[in-house]
Chains A and B, each alone.
Chain A
Amino acid sequence: MFERIREIIADQTGKDADEITMETNVKTDLEADSLDLFQIINDIEDEFDVKIENVEGIETVGDVVKLVESSKE
């Protein structure tokens, strides 16, 4: 799952997927603003067929992965 999420994030932010880890900070490392994050979450929702309600408090790529995992349960 991380691999696919990483690709989606790389695609939206224009960064190199290899440089994205679970610890990568969405705002400071990827320079993603709220609209980038909204689009990343939408693409993830479509990819994994989940509904992610609360995006407040997302800081790292790891937070995104955890949100997707909890949404799948």
Chain B
Amino acid sequence: MYYSKITATGACVPDMIVTNDDLAKIVDTNDEWISSRSGIKRRHFSKGENTSDIAAGVAKELIKKASVDPLDIDLIIVASVSADYTTPSTACLVQGIIGAQNAVAFDIGAACSGFIFGLSIADKYIKSGIYKNAIVIGAEVLSKYLDFEDRGTCVLFGDGAAGVFVERTEERIGLLAEEMGSDGAKGMALTAGHSPAGNAFNDTSRQAKREIYMDGRAIFDFATRTVPKSVKRLMEKAEVTADDLDFVLPHQANSRIVEIISRKLKIPMDKFYMNMDKYGNTSSASIPIALNEMVEKGIIKVGSVGVLTGFGAGLTWGSMLIKF
């Protein structure tokens, strides 16, 4: 039996840092309001770099860290809701930039759960024996979808990209169990990039709602109810208890939501990793950015066991048990 082992992590974020105080200059808000409700203090915003640029930055770092020849890469999956183009996919743009001519490349869209969904897909290709390795990246330039007159949402999101290189192994390591789900009936609670079906023969005057819209209560309700259940189901499936876990890495949407998840799961907060103070909510990139930081800080070491849990628009969610 094959397993998917994470052999490298990498991240790439735009250089420009925007603090809560910077935002308070252009929208009616303040640092206390933002940080007490979300845990966010600053975020990175693009200065022109697009999603494929930062995704390619991640891919280059993964190639270097994993010492892999780009021609030996089998699969490139980019999870994103803020691609440069509808087509070509961001994954194909990345493939072109890094010269991974022998890879299959495609994007997936599952918003803040996107990295988990992408990793799950890569794992199936590896488990089935079809491919021996994959690059999985979450990459977002969400700032292009922000309404800077909506103080309830524009302060929450940031730009960034990160990912992993996974390789086939026969050792029982890497992705050990997963639990995923979707609830499309509640999809309108969090939307972005609306593209109405106008053409030369019908009324094109309908306004597209391009910017991020969020029904705060509906999303809060979803995150605080569904995520604990998902993690619980995962832990039951994998027959692990809180004591077996070295860390829980949740999607970095909101520290208050993470505290509620911790309380409901009865897993102490010191096992939950958070870095939304520095990056805001970077959707599909949030989990891999934090994962890379944990590896770099030595929090995740060889043998570490933990849970990744993503949740977001769609609505979608996904939890994974991983061993390093």
Contact = CB atoms under 8 A, between A and B. Distances in A.
Interface of A: 33-35, 38-39, 41-42, 55
Interface string B195-228: 0000000000000000000001100110011000
Given A42-B224, A42-B225, A34 B216 contact: yes
B36 interface: yes
Given A34-B216, A55-B217, A39 B224 contact: yes
Interface in B206-262: 216-217, 220-221, 224-225, 254, 256-257, 260
A59 B37 CA distance: 19
B37 A39 contact: no
Given A39-B224, A42-B224, A33 B37 contact: yes
B112 to A, nearest CB: 18
A38 B221 contact: yes
A42 B223 CA distance: 12
22 contacts: A33-B36, A33-B37, A34-B37, A34-B216, A34-B217, A35-B220, A35-B254, A35-B256, A35-B257, A38-B216, A38-B217, A38-B220, A38-B221, A39-B220, A39-B224, A39-B260, A41-B217, A42-B220, A42-B221, A42-B224, A42-B225, A55-B217
Name B's interface SS: helix
Contacts of A34: 37, 216-217
3 shortest interchain CB distances as A-B pairs: A38-B220, A35-B256, A38-B217
Of listed B216, B217, B221, residue having the most chain A CB within 10 A = B217
Contacts of A55: 217
Given A35-B256, A35-B257, A41-B217, 15 more contacts: A33-B36, A33-B37, A34-B217, A35-B37, A35-B220, A38-B216, A38-B220, A38-B221, A39-B220, A39-B224, A39-B260, A42-B221, A42-B224, A42-B225, A55-B217
Contacts of A42: 220-221, 224-225
Of listed A38, A42, A55, residue having the most chain B CB within 10 A = A38
A35 B253 CA distance: 13
B150 to A, nearest CB: 15
A19 B217 CA distance: 27
Contacts of B217: 34, 38, 41, 55
A33 B254 CA distance: 14
A38 B260 CA distance: 12
Contacts of B225: 42
A33 B86 CA distance: 39
Contacts of A41: 217
Contacts of B220: 35, 38-39, 42
Nearest to B256: A35
B38 to A, nearest CB: 9
A41 B225 CA distance: 13
B226 to A, nearest CB: 12
Nearest to A45: B221
A34 to B, nearest CB: 7
B65 to A, nearest CB: 38
A58 to B, nearest CB: 11
Contacts of A35: 37, 220, 254, 256-257
Interface string B165-196: 00000000000000000000000000000000
A61 B225 CA distance: 24
A39 B223 CA distance: 11
Nearest to B254: A35
